[in-house]
Amino acid sequence: MNLSPEPIISARQIRKHFGSFVAVNGVDFDIPAGICYGFLGPNGAGKTSTMKMIYCAAPVTSGSLTVAGYNVMLDMKAVKSQIGVVSQEDSLDYDLDVWQNLLVFARYFDIPRKTAERRAEEVIQFLQLEEKRHVGIREMSGGMKRRLQIGRALMNNPRVLILDEPTTGLDPQARHHVWAKLHDLKNQGVTLILTTHYMDEAEQLCDTLVIMDRGNIISEGNPWALIQQHIPYQVVEIRATEEVKTEILTRFARAIGDAENLSDRLLIYTSEAEALLLEIQEADVPTKTVMTRRATLEDVFLKLTGRGLID
Ligand SMILES: Nc1ncnc2c1ncn2[C@@H]1O[C@H](COP(=O)(O)OP(=O)(O)OP(=O)(O)O)[C@@H](O)[C@H]1O
Ligand SMILES: [Mg+2]
- Looking from the CA of residue 41, the nearest atom of ligand 1 is 21
Give the pLDDT of residue 248: 93
Sign of the CA dihedral running 168, 211, 18, 49: negative
Which residues are within 5 Å of ligand 2 (an ion), measured at CB? 47-48, 88
Residue 172 CA: distances (Å) to CA of 79, 149, 155, 192, 205? 34, 18, 26, 21, 15
Instruction: Answer whether 151 contacts ligand 1 (Cβ < 6 A).
Output: no
- pTM listed for this prediction: 0.89
Paired with 11 in beta bridges are 29, 65
CA atoms within 13 A on the CB side of 61: 17
SS3 readout for 175-242: HHHHHHHHHHHHHCCCEEEEECCCHHHHHHHCCEEEEEECCEEEEEECHHHHHHHHCCCEEEEEECCH
Could you tell which of 16, 21, 199 is best to mutate to test the pocket of ligand 1, judged by most ligand atoms within 8 Å of the CB?
21
Closest Cα to atom 10 of ligand 1:
23
Give the pLDDT of residue 309: 36
The third-level CATH classification (topology) of the domain covering 7-221 is Rossmann fold (3.40.50)
> In CATH, what number does 233-294 get?
3.30.70.980
Give the pLDDT of residue 48: 97
Tell me which residues of the chain have a pLDDT lower than 50. 2-3, 308-311
Residues 130 and 182: their CA atoms lie apart, in Å, by: 19
Distance 49 CA to ligand 1 centre (A): 6
DSSP 8-class letter at 136: B
Paired with 266 in beta bridges are 238, 261
DSSP-assigned states of every residue in 95-132 = TSBHHHHHHHHHHHTT--HHHHHHHHHHHHHHTT-GGG
Distance 11 CA to ligand 2 centre (A): 19
Give the pLDDT of residue 310: 36
Closest Cα to atom 17 of ligand 1:
48
273 with 233: CB under 8 angstroms?
Answer: yes
> 233-294: same fold as 7-221?
no
Domain parsing of the chain, residue ranges: 7-221, 233-294
Give the pLDDT of residue 279: 92
pLDDT in tens, 258-283: 888 888 899 998 888 999 999 999 99
Instruction: Answer whether 46 contacts ligand 1 (Cβ < 6 A).
Output: yes
